[in-house]
Amino acid sequence: MAGHAVSAVRAATAADVPAAARVLADAFTGYAWTDWVLPADDHAARLAEVQGLYLAHAVEHGVVLVDDDVRGVVAFVPVDVPPPADEVWHRVAELHGDRIERLGAAPSPEPPAGAWTLATLGVLPAARGAGLGSRLVSEGLDRVGDVPVVLDTSDPRNVTLYRRHGFEVVAQVDVPDGPSVWSMLRRAA
């Protein structure tokens, strides 16, 4: 499907969250960070649910984009986004189980004032290679405007993708007994 045309990109709504969370769960299957922070038992269901919780919060407080066919999704949130409700954090903690403390294992550098976070990007494996991920990132960057944008990734291939969009590596942490994490920044013009 690498030749499949990229459909239009639009703002996601709350109604898109379940499908977009499934996209992220499929995209993050085998991803070093999520494999490390979520228990192996019922991993796929945990991953889909936690992605749905985070996406619902991002739809409410940030910029979440999907393509018309919901084969890809990107989410941006301001770094000062309000925290999710207590019941959401409680469920996130349950999903992470005894691995919850791992979430803070790779501290990111302090973001610049007014920064946004590219919180997640995922494209269904069958839809990769047609430029959908790049299109989502570009559209998202356009929508958040001329502000600094930060992100973390645990896949060196993602570093290459994000560099094409003006991001630079500002830190790398090799988590003991865990994955490497690259912190990246796209500066405001």
Per-residue DSSP letter, 7? P
Number of domains in the chain: 1
Q: Return the pLDDT at 3.
A: 47
Sign, Cα dihedral of 129, 188, 150, 60: negative
Give the pLDDT of residue 55. Answer: 97
Q: Is residue 4 part of a domain?
A: no
Q: What pLDDT score was predicted for residue 132?
A: 92
Quote the CA–CA distance of 50 and 37 in Å, as a whole number: 11
Q: Is 115 part of any domain?
A: yes
Q: Residue 68: inside a domain, yes or no?
A: yes
Could you read off the pLDDT of 1-17 as tens digits, one per residue? 444 566 799 999 999 99
Nearest to 54 by CA among 107, 119, 104: 119
CATH of the domain at 163: 3.40.630.30
Domain assignment of residue 129, given as a range: 9-186
CA distance 77 to 56: 12
Q: Which of 22-31, 69-78, 127-136, 137-146 has the lowest mean pLDDT?
A: 127-136
The reported pLDDT for the residue numbered 6 is 64
User: Which residue type is seen at 87?
Assistant: E
CA distance 8 to 107: 35
Q: What is the pLDDT of residue 7?
A: 75
Q: What is the pLDDT of residues 114-150, one digit of tens each?
A: 999 999 999 998 888 888 999 999 999 999 999 999 9
Please state, for a pLDDT cut of 90, what percent of the chain lies above it: 87
Which pLDDT score, from 0 to 100, does residue 104 have? 86
Does residue 61 form part of some domain?
Answer: yes
Residue at 143 is within a domain? yes
The answer to whether residue 106 sits within a structural domain is yes
Kindly tell me if the per-residue pLDDT of 56 is higher than 70.
yes
Determine the average pLDDT of the residues in 59-65: 97
pLDDT in tens, 153-177: 999 999 999 999 999 999 999 999 9
Query: Residue 152 above 70 pLDDT?
Result: yes
The verdict on residue 124 lying in a domain is yes
As a whole number of angstroms, the distance between CA 122 and CA 139 comes to 14
What ranges in the chain are assigned the alpha helix state H?
17-27, 32-37, 43-61, 86-96, 132-144, 156-163
pLDDT number for residue 4? 54
Q: What is the pLDDT of residue 126?
A: 86
Q: How confident is the model at residue 60 (pLDDT cuts 50, 70, 90)?
A: very high
Residue 38 forms part of a structural domain: yes
pTM: 0.92
